[in-house]
Structure 1
Amino acid sequence: MSDDALTRLDHHYQSMPPVAAMQLRIAGFDGDRLRLHAPLSAHVNDKGCAFGGSLGSMMTLASWGLVTLRIEAAGLDADVYVADSQVRYLAPLFADLDVTAEADADADWEAFIATLRQRGRARIGLRAWAGLPEGGVATEFTARYVAIVRDPGHAAA
């Protein structure tokens, strides 16, 4: 994956005013996992820990970004939507928000891309989490994302 793809993703994130206000940045991408970071100071709640809505949003954005990067790497142009999601809050996070997203264990990127090419629409399951500085997980997220090719004639390419 090129640095250009990460730059485009970051510009897309920053073009959305609510996301720009989150002060998030891309912390890393290894082809399988996308990591985002945001300062606690922009997401602190009345208890002094990370706001639950911010954690849910960060995990939604990381998962969306991962799907977007994989589609772009396949040479496709598609809109990506979250179809459904579930968040579990396991422990308060009193540190910066560091979120990681990856495909579910039973997800298959090759099958997802093949279906997207063939049908112009595909779904894939993702999972994300916010880690605790001392180890462990503060918040878990599971979701299904849908991609729809913007130009169906381009899907067969």
Structure 2
Amino acid sequence: MREPGISHPRLPLPSPGQEDDPAAFLAWLGEAIPMVGHLGIEAMQRDGDALEWRLGLSPNLNDKGTGFGGSLAAQTTLLGWCWTTLWLRRHGFDRDVVVAKAEQRFLAPVTGNYRLVCTPEAEEGPARLGARLAQRGKGRIALVQRLWCGETLCLEARGDYAVLPAG
């Protein structure tokens, strides 16, 4: 059981040229952030610069039988944190990431299982983050998360994620 004020041990970086195993990363994430086990994440996959979660609606229901906005907002924020953390890990950085700003726009009710996709807001965002880390030892990236229920875009979110200096 996690204790307030005590950091959870970091997951070791993957070997150079290797990527994180999605199942192992999600298992670690569930230990590091206890609420993760209650979010209904069924799968995680990466495709280029996109990170996707597949989620079940049942654990995220509101009183109307649709997706609970607070749960969906937490998922978008956490997925952006995961995108940034996994990007850093692929590039050999063992750094802390924090969300600096997050906002959501709810467009349609979530009425079934769904997928949440996170991508950089700007195509050059990852390269800019890498350059900032090389120059200043810290950086920031803007990410967009989109929640799809079937072919319907139900939620669009944006977050700024800060990478803290080593130390």
Q: Does the alignment reach a TM-score above 0.5?
A: yes
Aligned equivalents of 2:56 and 2:161: distance in 1? 26
Match of 2:79, SS? helix
Q: Which structure 2 segments of 5+ residues have no match?
A: 1-16
Q: Which structure 1 segments of 5+ residues have no match?
A: 152-157
Matched residue, 2:34? 17
Structure-2-length-normalised TM-score: 0.82
Percent of pairs identical after alignment?
29
2:165 maps to which of 144, 149, 152: 149
Shift of 1:54: 1.4
Aligned equivalents of 1:4 and 1:123: distance in 2? 22
Structure-1-length-normalised TM-score: 0.87
**By percentage of residues, which structure has more helix?**
1
| Residue 126 in structure 1 maps to residue 143 in structure 2 | yes
1:115 maps to which of 111, 132, 146: 132
Equivalent residues in 2 for 1:37-116 (5 A)?
A: 37-105=54-122, 107-116=124-133
Spell out, residue by residue over 1:55-111, the C-alpha distance to the aligned partner (whole angstroms, 9 max, x if none). 111111111111111111111111111100110001001011310000002542112
- Work out whether residues 23 and 42 of structure 1, in 8 Å CA contact, stay in contact via their aligned partners in 2: yes
Q: Count residues with an aligned counterpart.
A: 150
| Residue 136 in structure 1 maps to residue 152 in structure 2 | yes
Match of 2:88, SS? helix
